[in-house]
Amino acid sequence: QLSRMADEVERLCGVRPRGAWLAERVWEPSLAYDLAAAGYEYSVLDDNHLRGAAVRDEDMWGTYVVDDRGRMLTVFGAEQGLRYLIPWRPVPEVIGHLRSHATPDGRRLGIMGDDGEKFGAWPDTYEYCWGAAGWVERFFSALEAESGWLTTVRPSDWLDEQPPLGRIAVPASSYVEMTEWALPPADALVFHELLADARRRNDPAARFLRGGTWRAFQARYREINELHKQMLRASAAVAALPEGDRRLRAQDHLHRGQSNDVYWHGLFGGIYLADLRVAALAELIAAEDLAAGGQVATARADFDLDGLDEVLLGGPGQTLLIDLAEGGAIGAWDLLAGRLPLASVLRRRPEAIHARLKAAVEAGTAGPASDQPISPHDAVVVKEPGLERYLVYDRHERRSCLVHLLDPAVAAGLGAAELSAEEFDDQADLAEEPYEVEELTEGRLVLRRDGAVHPSGPRRDGSAGGDGGWPVTLIKRFELGGTRLSPELALKAELRNRGDTALETELDLEWAFQMLGGGGNPAAWYAVPDDAAVTTRTPHDGSGDVAGVDRLAFGNDQLGVRLEALLEPAARVIWHAIETVSNSEGGFERVYQGSALHLRWPLVLAAGATASVGVRFSATQDRDRLEEETRGFADKTPADQRGGASQRLHPKAGRKPSRS
C-alpha cells in the first residue's frame, strides 16, 4: 500500500514522496521498518509520542531517529501548542509562541501537522480562513514580515541539511486526545480531568500522563473487532492470489477497506457513521469475493479471536457469521452480489462525550452554532434541542435472530417506542447466552439451548430472576438457499416447554438491518401490509406496529437490493430506527445506525409441548458486481465462468462449542 501510494503521487506530481503521514498519528514501533522498507525516510509524530520516549519539552523542536529490525526512520515532532493555536488564535499570538521558542543558532524547527479540514471544511472556518477575516493570508504575511528570524523549510530539506537531535525509542501511541478516546467512558472522563488539572497547575508530571492505545478500540467495540478480523481474512485471501488482474483489483478493494476512519472513533463519528462503515465493509466483501472467485466456505472457527468459536455459514451469494457464545445470533450477514453488509448496525452504548453533553444541557450552555469559528474540542453545539432524551443504551449487541420471551400480560403494550427505549423485560435466558451446535452441513446450521423462563422478575441487569426458572429448550434452524443474485435464508425457532405445567409467553424474534436509510432517505423503505391489507412504503428510519402480518418487504432502490420476508404463522410486526447521539464538526446530532425489526408470536405450550415459528427471507439484487468486474479478466476462475458458487465444509464443523 505504501509503495503504490508513492508511485501514484510520483505519477500525479512528478516527485516521489520521501515522507509519509501516519493516519491519526497512530504509531507502533514496527512502523519504522515498514515505512523505511517502502522507501520512506521520515514521518511526523506528536509531542505526546516524544514524551513517551522521554524527550523533554524543550527538546521537542527538531528531529530524532528510530529503528526497527535494522531499518532507520527519521521522525519530526509536531508541537501541540502550534496545533491548538493554528488557526484558532490571532496571528500575533502564534508568532509570539514561535518567538518564545526561537534560539540564536536557528536550529529549532516547529512543525504543525493536523487536520486540513480546520482550514475551511469545518463549519464557519472557510470564511474565517479565506474570506474577509483572512486568517491564512495574515498568517503568511506575518511569516514574510518576520523572515529575519523565522524561516520556512520543507521537511525533506531540513532532513538533508540538519542532523537529528538523537536516537530514541517511541512506544505505541498517538496524539493525546486519541489516547483519551481509546479509554472506556468512565476512565476517559477521569483521565481528561486529571490531565486538565495537571496542566492548569503547570505540573511537570503532566508530561507523563497518557491514556489507552489505539488497539483498545478493537477490544471495546465488537463491531470494530469483527471489521478488523474480516479485513485480515480478506488480506490473507488476496495475498494467496497469483499475480494478475484479479489480484490487483482485489488489492484495490482491500486497501479501500483499510481506510482508517471506521476502525475507531473520537470527537467525531468514525465507526458511528453508517455510510463509512458500510463502504469499508463493501470493499472487504468485494476483496474476499474476488479472491474466492464467487466460492463460499462454511466453517467453524474462532473468527473474531475472542477464544470462542463462531460459525461462518456460506450459501449461494451470501455469508452469515453466527456467534455461538452470545445468543446463537447473526453478527454479520453479507450479500455478495450487491456487496451489502445487511447486519452492520452499531450498538447504542455510553460514551464519554455523552457526559459532556449532559453537563452542558444542565448548565444551559448547549445551544446552536454561533457565527464565530471555534474548535470542536471546546464547544458543545447541538443541532436539535432535547438530544439528551435519545441517550438510550442497548442491553446487548445489535445482532440478528435474537430470541426474547415476554410476559404476555404486558406484551400488548410493548410497541416501537418501548422497544426502542429498551423498556421491556426479557424473562428468558435465550438472547445472550451460549448455544450448542446440533448440526452443521453445507448451508445448514442447527443450534440448541436448554434455558429457562423467569416470570417472577425483571432481567434487565442480566440476573436470573427470583425463582428457579421454568425449563425450556430453544432450537434454531438456519438454512441457506436460492441463487447468487437471489439468496434465501430460512430461520425456524422451536420452543419446547420442559416444565410440568403449561407455559404462556410471547416470543419476540429480533433482527437488525442496515439499508442506509438515515435522514428519511426515500430510496430506503419498509413495505408492511396494514390492518386493511393495504401495503404502502414507509421510510426505513421510521417506525411501525402492525398485527397479523404474514409477509413484508424492505430494501434500498439506489443499492438495487430488496428483501421479502414470509412469516409462518402470521405475526405482529414492529420496527423502529436505531439512533445514537454523536458529535460532529457541526455539533451533537442523532445518527441513524440501522433499523430493528421485531416479529412477535403469542404462544401457549402445554407441559412437554413444542411450538414453531419461522421466517424466510428472499433477497433480490439488480447487479452482480463480481460478474461485472471480472468480465474482462484473463484469469477467470471456474466459478466466474459458471456464475455459481460452491461450498466446502470446514473439517472442524462437528465440534461442540467450547468456552475458554
pLDDT in tens, 430-451: 999 999 999 999 999 999 999 9
Which of the residues are catalytic?
24, 115
CB atoms within 10 A of CB 158: 16
Cell of 495: 420452543
Comparing 586 with 287, the larger pLDDT belongs to: 287
Which listed CATH number (3.40.50.20, 3.40.50.970, 3.30.465.10, 3.20.110.20) goes with 2-174?
3.20.110.20
Furthest C-alpha separation in the chain: 93
* Contact predicate 297/652, CB 8 Å: no
Comparing 460 with 550, the larger pLDDT belongs to: 550
Q: Residue 122 has what pLDDT? A: 86
Q: Residue 535 has what pLDDT? A: 82
Burial class (CB in 10 A: 0-12, 13-18, 19+), 327: buried
For the cut 60, the answer to whether the pLDDT of residue 92 exceeds it is yes
Taking phi first (over 0 means left), then psi (-120 to 50 degrees means alpha), and beta for anything else, what does residue 627 get?
alpha
Tally of residues, the chain: 660
- Confidence category of residue 656, pLDDT binned at 50, 70, 90: very low
Q: Residue 39 has what pLDDT? A: 96
Which of these, 613, 614, 611, lies nearest to 504 by C-alpha position?
A: 611
Average pLDDT over the chain reads 91
For the cut 90, the answer to whether the pLDDT of residue 115 exceeds it is no
Gap between the Cα atoms of 429 and 617, Å rounded: 26
What angle, rounded to 10 degrees, do the helices at 245-257 and 222-239 form?
A: 160
Phi and psi dihedrals of 46, rounded to 5? -90, 165
Helix (H, G, I), strand (E, B) or coil at 597: strand
Gap between the Cα atoms of 264 and 228, Å rounded: 11
- Confidence category of residue 641, pLDDT binned at 50, 70, 90: very low
- Sequence spans of domains, the chain: 2-174
- Confidence category of residue 541, pLDDT binned at 50, 70, 90: very high
Comparing 654 with 161, the larger pLDDT belongs to: 161
Gap between the Cα atoms of 536 and 474, Å rounded: 35
* Contact predicate 575/526, CB 8 Å: yes
Gap between the Cα atoms of 412 and 508, Å rounded: 12
Residue in the block written with cell 445518527: 591
Q: Residue 44 has what pLDDT? A: 95
Query: Which amino acid belongs to residue 382?
Result: V
**pLDDT tens, residue by residue, 546-571:** 999 999 999 999 999 999 999 999 99
Gap between the Cα atoms of 396 and 401, Å rounded: 13
**pLDDT tens, residue by residue, 120-132:** 998 889 999 999 9
For the cut 50, the answer to whether the pLDDT of residue 79 exceeds it is yes
For the cut 70, the answer to whether the pLDDT of residue 464 exceeds it is no
Torsion angle, alpha carbons of 235, 237, 239, 243, to 10: -130
What's the rounded mean pLDDT across residues 368-386? 71
- Confidence category of residue 364, pLDDT binned at 50, 70, 90: confident
Gap between the Cα atoms of 575 and 258, Å rounded: 33
- Confidence category of residue 237, pLDDT binned at 50, 70, 90: very high
**pLDDT tens, residue by residue, 272-303:** 999 999 999 999 999 999 999 888 889 999 99
* H/E stretch holding 618: strand 610-621
For the cut 60, the answer to whether the pLDDT of residue 658 exceeds it is no
Comparing 459 with 229, the larger pLDDT belongs to: 229
- E strands of 442-588, at which residues? 444-453, 470-482, 487-497, 503-513, 524-529, 535-539, 544-556, 561-582
Q: Residue 267 has what pLDDT? A: 83
For the cut 60, the answer to whether the pLDDT of residue 647 exceeds it is no
For 183-197, letters b (16+ CB in 10 Å) and e give beeeebbebbeebee
What's the rounded mean pLDDT across residues 65-85? 94
Q: Residue 108 has what pLDDT? A: 93
Which of these, 594, 289, 335, lies nearest to 487 by C-alpha position?
A: 335
